[in-house]
Amino acid sequence: MADQQYPEPTVGAFIFNPKGELLLLQSHKWPGKYVVPGGHVELGERLEQAVIRESKEETWLDVYDVVFINFQEFIYDPAFWKPRHFIFFDFACKTDSTEVRLNDEAQGYIWIEKHQALSLALDTYTRRSIEEYLKRFSLIQ
């Protein structure tokens, strides 16, 4: 199994541009699926700070208005490229740009209207968070 001793807390950044479109990435870590930028929470780092840092590292986008969506447990799901136990903390946030520069973790990206995103091949966890976002936040936007 994995070399982990404890679950890894991670954040997901559901980034919306000025037109309200959602950024989705294609990554070799989630073969054939669209996901959102994100990654590990560093020691001593608050979740919201991790969202801002990970967004910048993976997309070069500055984000703000970070709002919690949900959390999910991920326990050795074969959808990921290697066995891991994660605890996902997903957040919605905004950016003022649409110019994305990817690091080596992603091979492509799209900006898409949030309802249309559900028609794409999303990983299960991204899909659940989009659905939760739509339930909780669509009426107030």
Q: What is the C-alpha separation between 51 and 65, in angstroms, rounded?
A: 11
> What is the number of residues in the chain?
141
Interval 6-48: pLDDT, tens: 999 999 999 999 999 999 999 888 888 999 999 999 999 999 9
**pLDDT score for 139:** 57
Q: Which CATH number fits the domain 8-140, given the four candidates 3.30.70.3460, 3.90.79.10, 3.40.50.2000, 1.20.1250.40?
A: 3.90.79.10
Domain ranges of the chain: 8-140
Going through 27-137 in order, the beta strands assigned E by DSSP cover 34-35, 38-40, 64-75, 85-94, 108-113
Q: For residue 3, is pLDDT > 80?
A: no
108 Cβ contact list (under 8 Å, min separation 6): 25, 26, 102
Q: What is the C-alpha separation between 8 and 81, in angstroms, rounded?
A: 15
